[in-house]
Chain A
Amino acid sequence: MRRKIARHLIAITATVLLGGLVSAVLVRISPGFAIDENQLDPRLNAESLRALRASHSSEANILRFYAGYMNRAVHGDLGISHSLGQPVGRLLRDRVPVTGRLAAGGLALAWTFAFGLAAALAAVRISTCDVLAIVLSGILLCLPAAVMALLSVLWNAPASLAVALIVFPRVFTYSRNLLLNSYSLPHIVTARAKGLSKLRTLFWHVLPSCAPSLVAVGGISVNIALSAAIPVEALCGVAGVGSLAWQAAMARDLPLLVNVTVLVTLVTLLSDAGADVIGYVLSTREN
Chain B
Amino acid sequence: MPRKLACLVLALVTAASLAASWLAPAGYATQFREAPNAPPSRRHLLGTDQVGRDLFSRTLYGTRISLLLAPAAALVATTLAAGIGGVAGFLGGVPERVAMSLTNLFLSLPWLFLLITIRALLPLNASPLASVLATFLMLGLLGWAASARVLCAGARALRTSELLLQARALGLHGPRLFAVHVISNLKPVLYAQFWISIPTFILSEANLGILGLGVPEPMPSWGTLLKELEGVTSLTEQPWKLAPLLVLIVVVTSFQLALSRQEVPL
Contacts and interface: CB of A to CB of B under 8 A. Distances in A.
On whether the two chains bind one another, the answer is: yes
Interface of A: 11, 14-15, 18, 26, 29-31, 138-139, 141-147, 150-151, 154, 223, 226-227, 230-231, 234-235, 245-246, 248-250, 252-254, 257-258, 260-261, 264-265, 268-269, 272
Interface string B172-209: 00000000000000000000000000010001001100
Q: Mostly helix, strand, loop or mixed at chain A's interface? A: helix
A179 to B, nearest CB: 21
Nearest to A15: B105
Contact of B110 (A154, A248, A257, A261): A261
Contact of A272 (B108, B226, B235): B108
Q: Mostly helix, strand, loop or mixed at chain B's interface? A: helix
A26 B108 contact: no
B211 A230 contact: yes
Contact of A230 (B108, B113, B234): B113
Contact of A250 (B109, B203, B213): B213
A142 B207 contact: no
Contact of B249 (A142, A146, A254, A268): A142
Contacts of A147: 206, 210, 226, 229, 245
B34 interface: no
Contacts of B234: 154
B162 interface: no
A248 B113 CA distance: 11
A234 B256 contact: no
Contacts of A252: 120, 124
Contacts of B167: none
B14 interface: no
A15 B229 CA distance: 38
Contacts of B235: 154
A11 B226 contact: no
Contacts of A14: 101, 105
A138 to B, nearest CB: 6
Contact of A231 (B112, B123, B124, B249): B112
B253 A138 contact: yes
